């Protein structure tokens, strides 16, 4: 991965004990409401331009201007359901960018990004009669561990179509995934500016006024735009609703995992198998180990606590 020169981060790194709404000063940047407020077409600060250059500039070149496009793309045929993106835009070269913020795991998420890309390419190519396509880039910001990258601690993945010699067949189509759960300030391979953005994604809602004073002017502007006390009563309801809905999805997924664990025990008992409980306990151990690894806990510690081997964990 091509990166800019590394440098020491300038943002505050203090951890704050806070709930989902943080310290009540700044909004949660990963919430649907705030994400679209900051990066959408109604924000004159052009934060999206700066963020895209930090994340994708090394791959797609410097972006000097952005034009927002309708976020809903209809199906190829009338009966086919349309798809709605968080943000859909193009740059000065007419390269297209599909941008999504995903807070909760979704089944077959990677495949869905492929399908959405195909839909966007088809819609943009309808008027043309040749086989040339515009450049399309899918940028996915994830607040969960993507199963395709379960065994690494990278925060950024760039995926191109390549041949058996690892040569890129075409630079016009690429998928980028940012795993926020893997972010840590000390990580290498990130420019200071990109690191600052990722810090805001993961910590903005936890910051205090003292943290605010330590930011550079650009990110002070971002924080000022995201002050909770600047929200109208209607905006506050929308903000809290976006967080509540996302947390409800996460809670449901957690319930399903717990139910699967209990079902494993119940099935074993129903069959009269003494190993039913052991199966449930084994499933729980794997779930605990997976969670610990996702949080960056050392493999040796995970093995020591769970009793699982590296082979059993697929490492």
pLDDT at 290: 76
**Residue linked to tokens 């943000």:** 87
pLDDT at 10: 39
Instruction: Identify the H or E element spanning 221.
Output: helix 217-225
Any idea what DSSP says for residue 59? Answer: H
Neighbours of 173 (CB within 10 A): 20
Distance CA 97, CA 4 (A): 22
pLDDT at 53: 97
Distance CA 95, CA 66 (A): 10
Please tell me the pTM assigned to this model.
Answer: 0.72
Backbone dihedral angles phi then psi of residue 98, each to the nearest 5 degrees: -105, 120
Distance CA 102, CA 2 (A): 25
Q: Are the beta carbons of 138 and 117 closer than 8 angstroms?
A: yes
pLDDT at 279: 59
Task: Give me the average pLDDT of each 10-residue run along the chain (315 residues).
Answer: 38 39 86 93 84 96 93 54 74 95 81 89 69 88 84 89 91 95 83 95 96 96 96 94 74 59 59 54 70 63 67 78
pLDDT at 314: 78
């Amino acid at each position: 991965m091509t990166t800019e020169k590394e440098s020491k981060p300038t943002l505050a790194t203090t951890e704050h004990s806070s709930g989902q709404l943080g310290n009540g000063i700044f909004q949660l940047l990963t919430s649907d409401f705030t994400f679209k407020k900051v990066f959408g077409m109604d924000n004159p600060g052009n934060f999206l331009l700066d963020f895209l250059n930090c994340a994708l500039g090394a791959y797609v070149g410097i972006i000097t201007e952005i034009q927002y496009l309708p976020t809903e793309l209809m199906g190829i045929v009338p009966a086919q359901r349309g798809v709605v993106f968080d943000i859909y835009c193009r740059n000065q070269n007419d390269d297209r960018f599909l941008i999504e913020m995903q807070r909760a795991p979704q089944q077959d998420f990677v495949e869905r990004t492929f399908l959405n890309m195909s839909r966007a390419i088809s819609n943009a190519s309808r008027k043309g009669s040749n086989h040339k396509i515009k450049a399309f880039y899918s940028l996915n910001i994830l607040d969960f561990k993507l199963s395709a990258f379960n065994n690494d601690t990278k925060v950024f993945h760039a995926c191109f179509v390549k041949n058996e010699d690892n040569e890129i067949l075409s630079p016009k189509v690429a998928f980028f995934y940012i795993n926020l759960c893997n972010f840590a300030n000390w990580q290498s391979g990130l420019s200071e500016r990109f690191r600052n953005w990722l810090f805001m994604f993961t910590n903005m809602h936890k910051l205090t006024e003292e943290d605010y004073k330590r930011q550079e002017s650009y990110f002070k502007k971002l924080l000022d735009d995201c002050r909770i006390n600047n929200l109208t009563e209607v905006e506050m309801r929308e903000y809290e609703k976006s967080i509540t809905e996302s947390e409800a999805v996460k809670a449901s997924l957690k319930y399903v995992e717990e139910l699967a664990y209990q079902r494993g025990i119940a099935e074993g008992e129903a069959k009269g198998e003494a190993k039913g409980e052991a199966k449930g306990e084994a499933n729980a151990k794997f779930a605990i180990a997976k969670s610990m690894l996702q949080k960056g806990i050392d493999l040796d510690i995970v093995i020591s606590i769970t009793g699982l081997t590296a082979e059993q964990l697929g490492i």
